[in-house]
Amino acid sequence: MHRENLTTNVHVFVFFFALVLFAGSLAAQDEEPFDLLIRGGRVVDGAGNPWVRADVAVRGDRIERIGHLPDASADRVIDAEGLVVAPGFIDPHTHAVRGIFDVPTADNYLLQGVTTLTEGNDGSSPWPVAEHLARIAELGISPNWGIFAGQGTIRRTVMGSDDRDPTRDELDRMRTLVAEAMQQGAFGLSTGLFYVPGSFTSTEEVIELSRVAAEHGGIYISHMRDEALRLLDSVRETIRIGEEAGIPVQMTHHKAISRDMWGRSADSLALVDAARARGVDITIDQYPYTASQTGITAVVPQWAQAGGTQELIARLRDPETRRRIREEIVYRIEHDRGGGDPANIVIGLCEWDRSLEGKSLADILAEREIEVTVADAADLVMEIVENGGARAIYHAMDEADVERIMRHPATAIGSDGGVSVFGASVPHPREYGTFARVLGRYVRERGVLTLEQAVRKMSGATAQRLGLQDRGLLREGFFADIAVFDPDRVIDRATFPEPHQYAVGVEYVLVNGTLVVDGGEHSGERPGRVLFGSGRR
Q: With respect to residue 473, please indicate whether it lies within any of the assigned structural domains.
A: yes
Give CA–CA dist 484/516, Å, rounded: 12
* Pairing status of strand 52-59 against strand 62-67: antiparallel
CA-closest candidate to residue 238, choices 271, 200, 260: 271
Domain-embedded: residue 357:
yes
Model pLDDT for residues 443-485, shown as the tens digit of each residue: 999 999 999 999 999 999 999 999 999 999 999 999 999 999 9
Cβ–Cβ contacts within 10 Å for residue 31, how many?
10
- Tens digits of per-residue pLDDT, 256-294? 999 999 999 999 999 999 999 999 999 999 999 999 999
Confidence band, pLDDT 50/70/90 cuts, at residue 537: confident
Give the whole-angstrom CA distance, residue 15 versus residue 303: 79
Which ranges in 32-128 belong to alpha helices (H)?
97-100, 107-110
Q: Are residues 115 and 256 both part of a single domain? A: yes
Q: Where do runs of H (alpha helix) occur along 168-224?
A: 168-183, 203-215
Same domain, 319 and 237: no
HSE of 346, CA atoms in CB hemisphere, 13 A: 19
Q: Average pLDDT for residues 29-47, to the nearest whole number? A: 90
Written as one string, the DSSP assignment of 359-428 is -BHHHHHHHTT----HHHHHHHHHHHHHHT--EEEEE---HHHHHHHHHSTTEEE---B----TTSS---
Domain boundary pick from 395, 420, 452: 395
Query: 102 and 239, same structural domain?
Result: yes
In a domain, 2, yes or no: no
Residues 213 and 110 in one domain: yes
Residue that finishes a domain, picked among 369, 395, 421: 395
Q: What gap in Å lies between CA 266 and CA 437, rounded to an integer? A: 23
192 assigned to some structural domain: yes
- The yes-or-no verdict on residue 3 having pLDDT over 90 is no
pLDDT above 50 (res 17): no
Q: What's the one-letter identity of residue 373?
A: T
249 and 380 inside one domain: no
Residue 56 falls inside a structural domain: no
Indicate if 311 and 449 belong to the same structural domain: no
Percent of the chain at pLDDT above 70? Answer: 94
Q: Residue 102: which domain range?
A: 87-290+398-522
Please state, in angstroms and as integers, the Cα–Cα distance from residue 32 to each residue in 26, 66, 73, 476, following that order.
10, 16, 8, 17
- Among the listed residues 179, 238, 183, the one whose alpha carbon sits nearest the alpha carbon of residue 209: 179
The full 3-state SS of 399-410, as one line of letters, equals: HHHHHHHHHCCC
**What's the structural domain count of the chain?**
2
Considering the domain architecture, whether residues 187 and 124 belong to the same structural domain is answered as yes
pTM: 0.92
* 259 part of a folded domain: yes
Residues 402 and 389 in one domain: no
Q: Is 98 in the same domain as 221?
A: yes
A 10 A CB-CB count for 519 gives 9
- If asked whether residues 151 and 193 sit together in one domain, one would say yes
Cβ 412 vs Cβ 461: under 8 Å: yes
Inside any domain, residue 215:
yes
Residues 301-352 pLDDT 10s: 999 999 999 999 999 999 999 999 999 999 999 999 999 999 999 999 999 9
Domain boundary among 372, 395, 418: 395
Read off the CATH number of the domain in which 147 is found. Answer: 3.20.20.140
The reply to whether 211 falls in a domain is yes
Compute the distance between CA of residue 474 and CA of residue 505 in angstroms, rounded to an integer: 20
Are residues 285 and 207 part of one domain? yes
- Span 194-227, pLDDT tens digits: 999 999 999 999 999 999 999 999 999 999 999 9
Q: Are residues 363 and 493 in the same domain?
A: no
